[in-house]
Structure 1
């Protein structure tokens, strides 16, 4: 399951966040105040900048109830104040009836004049057979403003002749969603809005495809995601206790949460945590990857023996020299007219370390110019290599993202000292330490796939890198590298290049700004002076003799 919190974890989390709870009734008053996530949805829709909003949601968290409040606010206003008709469409008559009942409740709570609430028959004609007319039962509330809320149990074609706000609820379960969206989006021309809200129903569903397009940056629509834990943190269970006249407790909420998860069983990820169901399918097709492997990008590899640290200085330098010379040649030949972004996936014992350097041209096309792979290389040598690469492009570097898992954090920290550590993607600094999570993969992997599909990313041709990219699988609808390692014993790979590339692409999309950073001057202590000889030996192993670009090593 996607949520790692146990029942005990949730109890402690909620006890810490709700240490002093007054009676919910005293806080809320009448049950007409929106919960946090409902309020966020309405707030987005009240913004004139939001024309289309897609909402991924958990089952039965009351999002429809919140959208009903917005429908009433819109339909009750005069035209000069932005009033318009509101239309609700879902896959069942029971849901439309429930929506109209919720709108009636909100109308009474707002003391809005509603002229009537009635049922009527809506005629729907099949273009393939104009003589056939289907009568669809619908529900309607008419307001003194002249506008109305219209709720339908299916998708009538005559929706094209109407205007206003369209709310498509549980859109993943609506027949012919793509066609329905075409009709609804026509409302935008005259100032209408479209809200598409749903629990997931598979990763290949048009609803999830549309969400992935938004996350990938292909679509400019707004997006909101609310899973069960988000709803509980915003007070869902407190509201349930208020309605049912029960006392809230962290233990009670934890038990409530666990009961719901147990009820849905294997479907909990999709039904409750907004993860579309799908088998562990391949994320990128091999022909697509190969079609993008057209860049002239060398792959440099350094594989050191296990006893490297026990060798004398001369033996160490001899082992490192070929890699050092090859890297020197690549860095010396780099074109400094484009911008650059760097990704670094750290490994030491079981996994490879992989670094990936991308150039970014004026058309925002990303092109790989260098990648390196390190196996059995100690941490200090890895830092020296990374320092050389970043120093070579420092004046054109827009960002560098580092795997901050385990020992990877020490590399990110040391590079941050030299080039500026960035605390968040919108902040200052060039070096971003990334702590991987399902949220990171869910948000940051779709733009990478979109770059492959849109021909805005080009890589060097390498069989191992193709294999690593093919290793990324859709696990519960989220692209991840499975825990299984592939390859011969002692040389196994774990999708390492795919992670480094994802980090480099992420770094290339961080907010760009001109950034001048000077490291804090450092005066060595006596202890550090005693170790200067060892450090000089280390630097000597990687120093570029006669390098035309000073300060790389």
Structure 2
């Protein structure tokens, strides 16, 4: 769980760090002694009403516990009318509890809080199961409150009040039961802080994090990995404490040494990525149970020499599909709201489209799916644009794969329906450049929709294969590099990505978007600026006297 270090060496390092703190306070001053991420945590916790429960996934040894000790001293040192309360700290080892209580004592002196010396006691767990009392440390404040640090998970937590801090929660015994007892603190205005390095994707701590990201649990969440801590001054502070000069070159060497030290465990220990599981992300029976939508899957595959054929022949090849598409969208209920996801492919992968209707009870129901293989970009834009045009008055949002050539489709759709630069901005079209962060934040809500029966998709064997292809890679659900299917018909989880984009779009904040080009108007006489109109083979042109794009969009989830 931690780097190999002897008890004597641990105590020596801890004592040196504590002894160095008065000098650090003299150099940087009390307000700046906390690093930005430590200060942000204290600031968030300072208002109990706004942050009743906080989960923090963090890197190993970045000093967050030290920042929480500052918060504990501030909270316990206050009078009751100022928000003071008891603070209980729980972790898995005696060394951590002793380090925490020492840091609290240092902060109490720095804040000029009247506090007694640290006392050691035996804490009675308050049960009848024959468990022995456990060792604990305590600081009493003149406010009447105290900080109590324990090195296990006592059932005696039940019946207490105040703020409870569970440190390295992934490693305590029976975290689920401990959380049940801790959350009871909330009934009387208490607060719960849970922070930890990860210990596997199936650990109760990671499951709680996934519930928060999926919107299933209404708790606050923070994530502080090793690189983020370095950017915010971790190594500079280490140099200050050790009395050594800081250089960017020295920091780079130190960072690499730490990563090499942790080896294969660096992702989990330093970068908040729980160790991967080997199973599929969604069980097959669960996916099949949600394949209840009665809607078409339209597939278009064009010959390899399509672009070299005569224009009339090209039109003849694509016209039957366009007719089928028109028949598929015609019966859609436009009183509902819609969200669209589009995953672009051109050479080896499919282009896939998923259109979701948002029902009255907020269940997402798939009403159309489109797959295109070997279809040129202009024809893809025509097809996707036709779907968006039909539902534009009921469109919540559309999310497009914007990696590589996919950006051109997203950009052109943005010209017509408004390009949204961020999830909180205006415009209907969101261009998504996939990253681990995007998958980490937006795949859990999709899984929750499957688990809670809040999504209904079209029954299709290929779509089942694509969804089953999603694996947990480095702790994050995503499609691995491997492809499935026979040569020339290979799939790369394409439908799963389109569905994830559509579900993401359905959760975007709705903003009305209006746009009017200044290029189509002569301000002097309200006539057109040019007698030669622009023509585009794909899209009809909008004149200045037409209504602004998106001005008649209404509604929100």
The residue correspondences of 1:457-496 to structure 2 (distance < 5 A) are: 457-496=455-494
Q: CA deviation at 1:436?
A: 0.5
- Partners of 1:101 and 1:409 in 2: CA distance: 54
What residue number does 1:352 align with? 350
What residue number does 1:154 align with? 152
- Partners of 2:437 and 2:260 in 1: CA distance: 23
Partner of 1:138, secondary structure, is: strand
TM-score by length of 1: 0.89
- Partners of 2:238 and 2:375 in 1: CA distance: 56
Contact 2:201/2:276, CA 8 A, preserved across alignment = yes
Q: CA deviation at 1:517?
A: 4.0
- Partners of 1:427 and 1:32 in 2: CA distance: 34
Q: Aligned pair 1:104/2:105, yes or no?
A: yes
The residue correspondences of 1:84-163 to structure 2 (distance < 5 A) are: 84-127=85-128, 129=129, 132-163=130-161
Q: Aligned pair 1:46/2:37, yes or no?
A: no
Partner of 2:33, secondary structure, is: coil
Q: CA deviation at 1:116?
A: 2.7
Q: CA deviation at 1:332?
A: 1.3
What residue number does 2:34 align with? 34
Q: CA deviation at 1:108?
A: 1.1
Partner of 1:158, secondary structure, is: helix
Partner of 1:34, secondary structure, is: coil
Q: CA deviation at 1:98?
A: 0.3
Partner of 1:433, secondary structure, is: strand
Counterpart pick for 1:251 among 243, 249, 252:
249
Q: What per-residue deviation string (whole Å, max 9, x for no partner) do you get for residues 136-175 of structure 1?
A: 0100000010100000011111111211100000000000
- Partners of 1:277 and 1:56 in 2: CA distance: 14
Contact 1:419/1:431, CA 8 A, preserved across alignment = yes
What residue number does 1:311 align with? 309
Contact 2:519/2:529, CA 8 A, preserved across alignment = no
Contact 2:25/2:33, CA 8 A, preserved across alignment = no
- Partners of 2:279 and 2:529 in 1: CA distance: 54
- Partners of 2:490 and 2:171 in 1: CA distance: 43
Unmatched 5+ residue regions in structure 1? 1-23, 541-553
Q: What per-residue deviation string (whole Å, max 9, x for no partner) do you get for residues 183-224 of structure 1?
A: 111110111000001000001000000000000000001000
What residue number does 2:63 align with? 62
- Partners of 1:427 and 1:308 in 2: CA distance: 39
What residue number does 2:446 align with? 448
What residue number does 1:502 align with? 500
Contact 1:160/1:183, CA 8 A, preserved across alignment = yes
Partner of 1:369, secondary structure, is: strand
- Partners of 1:142 and 1:30 in 2: CA distance: 22
**Displaced runs of 4+ in structure 1, greater than 6 A?**
24-27, 523-529
Contact 1:32/1:106, CA 8 A, preserved across alignment = no
What residue number does 1:548 align with? none
What residue number does 2:192 align with? 194
1:285/1:197 CA distance change after superposition, 3 Å: same
1:391/1:27 CA distance change after superposition, 3 Å: farther
Contact 1:199/1:274, CA 8 A, preserved across alignment = yes
Q: CA deviation at 1:133?
A: 4.2
Contact 2:425/2:511, CA 8 A, preserved across alignment = no
Q: CA deviation at 1:515?
A: 3.4
Partner of 2:240, secondary structure, is: helix
Partner of 1:56, secondary structure, is: strand
Q: Aligned pair 1:208/2:209, yes or no?
A: no
Q: CA deviation at 1:120?
A: 0.6
Contact 2:197/2:269, CA 8 A, preserved across alignment = yes
- Partners of 2:533 and 2:516 in 1: CA distance: 22
- Partners of 1:40 and 1:51 in 2: CA distance: 15
What residue number does 2:291 align with? 293
- Partners of 1:513 and 1:362 in 2: CA distance: 20
What residue number does 1:6 align with? none
- Partners of 2:419 and 2:276 in 1: CA distance: 38
1:26/1:309 CA distance change after superposition, 3 Å: farther
- Partners of 1:30 and 1:43 in 2: CA distance: 15
- Partners of 2:27 and 2:379 in 1: CA distance: 59
Contact 1:172/1:205, CA 8 A, preserved across alignment = yes
- Partners of 2:195 and 2:372 in 1: CA distance: 46
- Partners of 2:519 and 2:138 in 1: CA distance: 72
What residue number does 1:425 align with? 423
- Over the aligned positions, Cα root-mean-square deviation in angstroms equals 1.9
Q: CA deviation at 1:322?
A: 1.9
Q: CA deviation at 1:26?
A: 8.8
Size of the aligned set, in residue pairs, is 509
Q: CA deviation at 1:524?
A: 11
Q: CA deviation at 1:181?
A: 0.7
The residue correspondences of 1:329-344 to structure 2 (distance < 5 A) are: 329-344=327-342
Partner of 2:380, secondary structure, is: helix
Contact 2:127/2:156, CA 8 A, preserved across alignment = no
TM-score by length of 2: 0.88
Q: CA deviation at 1:360?
A: 0.5
Contact 2:427/2:512, CA 8 A, preserved across alignment = no
Q: What per-residue deviation string (whole Å, max 9, x for no partner) do you get for residues 428-468 of structure 1?
A: 10000001000000000000000000111100000000000
- Partners of 1:31 and 1:246 in 2: CA distance: 22
Whose RCO is larger (CA < 8 A, sep 6+)?
1
Contact 1:351/1:493, CA 8 A, preserved across alignment = yes
Q: What per-residue deviation string (whole Å, max 9, x for no partner) do you get for residues 44-100 of structure 1?
A: 111221100000000000000000000000000000100000000000000000000
Contact 1:419/1:519, CA 8 A, preserved across alignment = no
Partner of 2:132, secondary structure, is: strand
Segment of structure 1 superposing worse, 249-258 or 275-284: 275-284
Partner of 2:117, secondary structure, is: strand
